[in-house]
Structures are given as structure tokens and as C-alpha cells.
């Protein structure tokens, strides 16, 4: 009887071990790339974490379970403690995500007959009411087709999204994420943030996302010293 139980547990464990080995192998190139960039890399199953610094300021990027309802599957998120001017507020999101959040916010306000910003709403929805959408002609039309930028002032958005950062946000490597994939980058309270829906083991996309975030942090440090 005990032999049968041992065999049953052994059969159950094999697929799990195989899946874990597959996940580790898929993240191998990411680990190797992180080492060449001087980033600390740790992994647990399909989840991983990168840590580094930019301009002497710490940042962290990780893949794990989503913390937002609009993200399906795994979430890539990053945060950097930049210590820049805390009054600067700039938010970039892809347009399909903005449209989704606007519909949800509109439904909330019309259902409850509320006319003011509700503190119980997710922060992303409150940004739509708090900040105005801005734009400028020097960025290509394809950029504005894909992304929307909300800001406390247009000047702050212009200063953060320089031409190099705009170009990086358009030049995703294959397999490039579709324009409909939720993506958001924020500069709020002196910190930089990134959120993105992440497919499994898309190493070129993960690498590019980390480069975009690193560039965004460099640009913010140059433009908004506290």
C-alpha cells in the first residue's frame, strides 16, 4: 500500500519538477543578460526580480501575480526611489487601457450619482479626473495613436518624455507586445513606476522594458532634481 502511495506521489511530482525546470531554463537568458548589465537577479519559479541603481538611486523590477484587475496573467512592475521633485505628476498609459479605465470610471460615477473624485476608486481612475491629457507635435503621430500622457503641466511631460524615450516606447523587439496590452509608466511623489501585462518568458520584451524604465529614470533625474 505504501509503495503504491509513494509511486503516486512520485508521478505527481514529476510534472511539477519538469515545469519548474522549464521555467528556470526560460529565465536563464534573462539572468545572463542581467549579469552583463550589473543587475542583481533572483528567481522563484516563473517569477523573478531585478535590482540595480540609476544615478545612485535604487530601482527594482519584478514579474509576479497581478496587483491590478486590468492585468491578466503575469504583471511586470518596476519602481525607483528617485527623490525628484514630488510635485511633478506625469502618467503615460496605452490608449486601450485609458479607454477601459474611462468607461469604468464613468460607470462608477453615473451609477452612484457622484460628481467629485472618489477616494475609494483605484488610483489609476482618479488620475483621469485629476490630470489633463497633453501632447506635442514633435512626437510622431504613431506615438499618440498608441499612448496617452496625463500631466499636471504639459511642460513636465515634455521634460520627461524626451525624443530618445519616445523612440524606445515605440521600438519594442519581437515578439512585440500588441498596442492593446496594458502598459503604464508614472512619475509621482518623487518616484518612477512601471506596470505592464507580461507574457511568459518573453526575454527580449523584458529586457527592453527594463531599458525603457532605466532611461525614464535617467530622464527624470536630469529634468526634475528636487
13 located within any domain: no
User: Are the C-beta atoms of 50 and 210 separated by less than 8 Å?
Assistant: yes
21-61: pLDDT as tens digits: 445 556 788 889 888 888 898 987 767 899 999 999 999 99
CA distances from 179 to 38, 59, 94, 148, 199 (A): 30, 26, 7, 12, 14
168-191: pLDDT as tens digits: 999 999 888 899 999 999 999 999
11 located within any domain: no
pTM of the model as a whole: 0.82
138 located within any domain: yes
199 located within any domain: yes
18 located within any domain: no
Containing structural domain, residue 92: 27-223
User: Are the C-beta atoms of 58 and 81 separated by less than 8 Å?
Assistant: yes
Looking at residues 110-135, what average pLDDT do you find? Answer: 74
Number of domains in the chain: 1
CA distances from 77 to 104, 144, 165 (A): 22, 23, 18
Q: Packing angle between helix 203-223 and helix 163-170, nearest 10 degrees?
A: 160
pLDDT at res. 78: 97
6 located within any domain: no
3 located within any domain: no
70-94: pLDDT as tens digits: 898 889 999 999 999 999 999 999 9
- Percent with pLDDT over 70 in the chain: 79
Amino acid at each position: 500500500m505504501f509503495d503504491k502511495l509513494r509511486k503516486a506521489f512520485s508521478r505527481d511530482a514529476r510534472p511539477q519538477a519538469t515545469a519548474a525546470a522549464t521555467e528556470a531554463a526560460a529565465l536563464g537568458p534573462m539572468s545572463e543578460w542581467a549579469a552583463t548589465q550589473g543587475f542583481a537577479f533572483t528567481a522563484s519559479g516563473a517569477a523573478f526580480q531585478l535590482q540595480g541603481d540609476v544615478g545612485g538611486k535604487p530601482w527594482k523590477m519584478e514579474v509576479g501575480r497581478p496587483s491590478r484587475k486590468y492585468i491578466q496573467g503575469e504583471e511586470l512592475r518596476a519602481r525607483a526611489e528617485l527623490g525628484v521633485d514630488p510635485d511633478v505628476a506625469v502618467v503615460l498609459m496605452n490608449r486601450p487601457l485609458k479607454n477601459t479605465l474611462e468607461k469604468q470610471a464613468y460607470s462608477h460615477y453615473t451609477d452612484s450619482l457622484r460628481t467629485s473624485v472618489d477616494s475609494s476608486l483605484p488610483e489609476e481612475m482618479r488620475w483621469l479626473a485629476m490630470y489633463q491629457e497633453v501632447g506635442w507635435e514633435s512626437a510622431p503621430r504613431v506615438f499618440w495613436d498608441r499612448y496617452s500622457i496625463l500631466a499636471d503641466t504639459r511642460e513636465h511631460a515634455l521634460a520627461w518624455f524626451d525624443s530618445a524615450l519616445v523612440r524606445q516606447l515605440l521600438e519594442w523587439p519581437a515578439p512585440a507586445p500588441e498596442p492593446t496590452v496594458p502598459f503604464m509608466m508614472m512619475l509621482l511623489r518623487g518616484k518612477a513606476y512601471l506596470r505592464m501585462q507580461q507574457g511568459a518568458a518573453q526575454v527580449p520584451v523584458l529586457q527592453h522594458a527594463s531599458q525603457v524604465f532605466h532611461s525614464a529614470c535617467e530622464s527624470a533625474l536630469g529634468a526634475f532634481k528636487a
